[in-house]
Amino acid sequence: MTDITSTTPRAKKRFRWSAIFDHSILILGSLFMLLPVFLALTTSSHDNVEIQREGLKFWFGNDIDENFGNAMFEKGGFTKTVTGMTMLMNSFILGIGFAVGKIILSMMAAYAIVYFRFRFATFAFWIIFTTILLPLEVRILPSYEVIQSIGLTNSYTGLIVPLLASATGTFFFRQFFLSVPEELVEAARIDGAGPVKFFVDILVPLSQTMIAAIFIIMFVYGWNQYLWPTLITTDEGLFTLVRGIRQIIQAYAEGSEIPEYGQAMALALIAMLPPVAIVIFFQSWFVKGLVESDK
């Protein structure tokens, strides 16, 4: 933006001071966001005894490969069977499984609600709509009992499918389908395309950007799930990285010996790397998905 007051020398000087002030605030803000993770990274490169003695480290040490190696490949947990690699794989299964499931289910439902004339349309919409009234956290205990009675605890199905019972994606696609020009479906019908052909050949290709945007949001949401995996998976082979954080805290709270600080920080960093990388690399899609889905 051009500053119209910056024609006289005096105003120019004042303008520069205000720019320095603006940048200072932004740099302070960025540091506030960055510093905890930077400290985690530098601390993860030190030996546990050293950290215990001197506190968190502000610069890099020599043990970075050892700590990350232990976090990824050393067998841990109560049963000594789970490694960071297993948890990483489970996190990807949960993140991708949830995102893909969500997109397929909600596109189908939104297509039915927007493009078909049938009696239950309004009723179905309200049934789905009501789910935004109750986040999983509120109905956590009864949900757990239901999963237990069906026998889905300690399975990927029990981990992923109950999380899909919400309306967010359906709303997103409904909103988008409503913005697609009416003429498109008219033209397709004149050309003799049926509902399935219209969906597969026209609507899905048209929604590509929307699908990418919602995929990022949902992947991050699935990856970062904590409470639900904590309840559903007691078998350590099914732990996700975020679920593994709870084990670290537990060991940390009970431990009599020096806690594995470096390794814990390494695992925390691995747990945040994939979702953070996706958000940074696909920033414009991510912002689109976030702002347009309106949650």
By CB under 8 A, what part of segment 232-251 binds another protein?
242, 245-246, 248-250
Q: How far is the CB of 128 from another protein (least distance, A)?
A: 6
Nearer to another protein, 90 or 143 (CB): 143
Q: How far is the CB of 85 from another protein (least distance, A)?
A: 18
Q: How far is the CB of 76 from another protein (least distance, A)?
A: 15
Binding span for another protein by CB under 8 A among 59-67, 71-79, 136-144, 204-212: 136-144
Residues 5-64 that bind another protein (CB under 8 A): 5, 18-19, 22-23, 25-26, 29-30, 32-34, 36-37, 39-40, 43, 51-52, 54-56, 58
Reported residue count of the chain is 295
Choose, by CB under 8 A, the member of 103, 114, 214, 238 that binds another protein: 114
Contact yes or no for 84/267 (Cβ under 8 A): yes
Residues 173-212 that bind another protein (CB under 8 A): 178, 182, 185-186, 189, 194-196, 198
294 binds another protein (CB under 8 A): yes
Q: How far is the CB of 22 from another protein (least distance, A)?
A: 5
Q: 179 Cβ partners below 8 Å, 6+ apart?
A: none
Q: How far is the CB of 35 from another protein (least distance, A)?
A: 9
117 binds another protein (CB under 8 A): yes
Residues 73-92 that bind another protein (CB under 8 A): none
Report the candidate in 130, 136, 128 with the shortest Cα–Cα distance to residue 112: 128
Report the candidate in 99, 229, 222 with the shortest Cα–Cα distance to residue 169: 99
Give residue 128's identity as a one-letter amino acid code. Answer: I
Choose, by CB under 8 A, the member of 45, 70, 83, 106 that binds another protein: 106
Q: 166 Cβ partners below 8 Å, 6+ apart?
A: 131, 132, 136
Report the candidate in 263, 272, 238, 259 with the shortest Cα–Cα distance to residue 82: 238
Q: Other CB atoms closer than 10 Å to residue 241's CB: what's the count?
A: 26
138 binds another protein (CB under 8 A): yes
Binding span for another protein by CB under 8 A among 61-69, 82-90, 206-214, 273-281: 273-281
Contact yes or no for 243/87 (Cβ under 8 A): yes
Give the number of residues in contact with another protein, rule: CB under 8 A: 106
Nearer to another protein, 81 or 283 (CB): 283
Report the candidate in 96, 100, 104, 69 with the shortest Cα–Cα distance to residue 85: 69
**Within a 13 Å sphere around the CA of 27, how many CA atoms are in the beta-carbon half?**
6
Choose, by CB under 8 A, the member of 68, 98, 111, 171 that binds another protein: 111
3 state SS of 172: helix
Q: How far is the CB of 184 from another protein (least distance, A)?
A: 9
Cα Dmax for the chain: 77
Look up residue 113 and give its two tokens: 């609600």
